[in-house]
Structure 1
Amino acid sequence: MKSAEQKAKYPAIWISDVHLGYKDCRADYLLDFLSAVETDVLYLVGDIIDLWSMKRQFYWHPSHYQVLNCIQQKAANGTRVIYIPGNHDETFRNYINQTLFGIEVHQQYIHVTQANKRFLLVHGDDFDSATRYNKIISIAGDAGYDLLLFLNRWSNKIRKLFGGNYWSLASWIKARVHKAREAINAFEDAAIHEAKKQNVDGIICGHIHHPKIKVCDGIVYCNDGDWIENCTALVEQADGKIELLHWSDTHTVLDSADISNISSPLMSNDDAKPKKSAA
């Protein structure tokens, strides 16, 4: 554990799609990340615990408990922790607008950055209808994803034997499959549309395991990625700049957005209040 003097400090951090309880969760890298940072607000943007996977086959590595304990300790030590349940941990949506063990639970939330920009926070499964072509493709996609993660797991074991760093084979393959790219683009378009609808400057989500920052039609789209394939998180700097970090054997800033010059929509009187789920 790093000392407080060594830790990077951020006004806000976003992580999602950790999938604790799933064998391919990279809890080791996440623990290293959480021990290296401090933040005023830690946002858990869904699929932190993979209840779906645990119903199929129970799996719980000791490091998965350590992740939960680390988050709980941050909450106990003064970090505000806001949890937006996803589809894999949707059971916790029964506790919307309540506080569990010092952690606030919301359906969605508005974060106001240090640059006074308003970001809508959602997990992203509300946008599934924009990316599903038919049931057959959906089923094939699930089976194909399991195969991708199998290949990802073994390719990195081999890379480690030869002294290589962690690298996401799964993401590399997905980026080259036409249907996958098409689905990702459709998801991003749906998220940007929702941000416009809710009159905010940007949107932060997870769900599709595709980390990215981009600006489209004056809306900042941010996806914090996951801790299965990519090991990524979003962080806000003191000036309001948002960065996308990769955290495995190597630590890299993948992308960033200086949002201070982006024109803001008209501000509402409720700009910092949690909002109900999108229709």
Structure 2
Amino acid sequence: MASGKRWTRDELLVALNLYHKLTFGQMDARTPVIIALAQKLGRTPGSVAMKLCNLASLDPALKLRGIKGLAGASDLDRSMWQEFHENLNEAAPASEEAMRKLIGARETDTMEVVPGKGFQVRKRPLDEVTEKTALVKQRRGQDYFRNSVVNNFGGRCGVTQLAIRELLIASHILPWGTHPSERLNVRNGLCLSRLHDAAFDQGLIAFDEELRMVLSPKLKAALSQRTVAENFGAYERVPLILPADSALPETAFLAEHRAKIFRKK
């Protein structure tokens, strides 16, 4: 298995896709999904893990958390990083498609990266199989965003720590429709349970500059209801929980959500 060959642009596109679906501590040669990708690329797990750690040195979100990565990033690494993030709405779906082809997922399959298990490929629901070709790129982008955000939160709801992936939503802080440039930005995402996602989307909850949950007056008025008290009252002023090596949600985006979407009455 090759371990010293140069990385190509196509390989780096796939590496960037996986990079955003792992936390820094998971960029290890023993992580099952890295082992699985290395086999597909004809590389060693150590080579893939090192490349991910090289990319981490270019990540401003990790620098905010005091994480430096490895200092061996190549000129091509830097160039690809810049291209990928300057045109995320095109690059992320392209990377998702490249990853799917490498793994062997069919057009009618869903593919998800679960760090501790590897790649999980499942049949897509029938109502999604017949989608038009024009929607495929949008679907790939949505798949990329969901997987990246859920994994950035350690596969758990940031509020309740619910760890059943089928009940988790990758919530956009700034709405998809009004902020196209941030649609696929992992720092524009929160991993929430379906209930808390709906409350966030409707402006019934928000998160302050310290990531603590804030309840709207409408929810506070309903705290006498057991369900509201248990699902919202119990978490008021409690900060979101993320892994220590993940990318934090962008506080400027949360501030805009509080200003424009959060219900203050």
TM-score (norm 1): 0.25
* Structure with the larger strand share: 1
